[in-house]
Amino acid sequence: MLQGFKERLDIRTLVVTGTVAILMIVAAALTQAALGVGTPCAFAQASECPPEGIDNLVPKDLTISAGSLAFTNSLIFVKPEACTDDILDIVTGAVTGDYLILMLDHDACTPLKKVTINNNPGTTDGFSLRGGQGFILDSIYDSITLVKRVGSNFWVEVSRTDNTLEHVGVRAYNNANITIPNATWTTLTFNSERFDSGNLHNTATNTSRLTATSSGVYVITSNILVSVNGSGFRVANINVNGTFSIASMRLPAFSGDMVGMSFTTTYYLNQNDYVELLVYQNSGSSLTAVATGVGNSSPEFSMVKVGN
């Protein structure tokens, strides 16, 4: 039966934000074929139906309500209720042989909020998960595939991906000079981006912040040029959550030349922690963080996730 299924299977690559779900779809479809059951195509026109054995693959954004979702499609982007960390206990409305891929809706909340899928196989429409532990969706790269097995009234895990680190990083910059008053710590803002492949920065709100969308180890780098003045010294700090410094650089002023500061640190950030770049100078007058039109070197602030 599986051989016949494979011959009929016409898989089209399903690209979802930040990942490719095709392998999970194949695994779930083969599982469904082995069970010999499935959900009929729900489209009005037969021509709109997916290939036999892979049904309801149109992505659907659904918001958790009191720990529950209603099964409408096999691929669901989950939205936390009220944009707070949330728990998913059940997915209702499915029948034996239906399969389900759950991923976090990366556009729903800024910063991302986590969804914990509870392990509760004794609950109707609940979940039986690997290792008997709940699974946390806290990254746009997390996903879990489940199937409603014959003889059970709950979802059984087929496969999962957990915090794949591909392309999680940002480099932000400001395309205009920033005033740095004398003897005052100034938090730099960044109104533009070279890249942002994990929604770590926002150019409209809290533009000074690079925010960890999932917990892990991050490499953080700053680059800044301070305008010419031969008096005093210059200091740059990378701060976490507006409370404490994790890296700092101090240089004396140079007569007739700008002061350049570039430094890197590695730090473990919890989900929703953020870092900022602060600058101090005591020349006796206001200076500027110089925006370089050529070279892309100032002021620039970057962060890349390198481990869990």
CB 146 within 8 A of CB 158: yes
Pair 289, 142 in one domain:
no
Pair 145, 8 in one domain:
yes
Domain boundary among 104, 129, 161: 161
**What is the rounded CA–CA span in Å between residue 295 and residue 288?**
18
**What is the rounded CA–CA span in Å between residue 219 and residue 306?**
7
Pair 191, 147 in one domain:
no
Pair 69, 188 in one domain:
no
Q: What is the pLDDT of residue 146?
A: 95
Give tens-digit pLDDT for 146-156: 999 877 789 99
Q: What is the pLDDT of residue 122?
A: 85
Pair 12, 155 in one domain:
yes
Pair 18, 145 in one domain:
yes
Q: In 3D, which of 300, 111, 81 has the Cα closest to residue 199?
A: 111
Per the structure, the count of domains in the chain is 2
Give tens-digit pLDDT for 93-141: 999 889 899 999 988 888 888 899 999 998 999 999 987 888 889 888 8
**What is the rounded CA–CA span in Å between residue 171 and residue 194?**
5
Pair 198, 226 in one domain:
yes
Give tens-digit pLDDT for 246-269: 999 999 999 999 999 999 999 999
Q: What is the pLDDT of residue 165?
A: 47
Q: With pLDDT > 70 as the criterion, what percentage of the chain qualifies? A: 79
Map 202-257 to HEC letters: CCCCCCCCEECCCCEEEEEEEEEEECCCCCCEEEEEEEECCCEEEEEEEEECECCE
Domain boundary among 129, 161, 193: 161
Pair 149, 186 in one domain:
no
CB 126 within 8 A of CB 112: no
- pTM for the full predicted model: 0.52
Dig out the tokens for 44 from the structure.
């009005």
Domain boundary among 138, 161, 184: 161
Check which CATH number belongs to the domain holding 243 and give it. 2.60.120.40
Pair 126, 176 in one domain:
no
Domain ranges, residue 204: 169-307
Pair 143, 229 in one domain:
no
Pick out the chain residues at pLDDT < 50. 1-54, 164-165
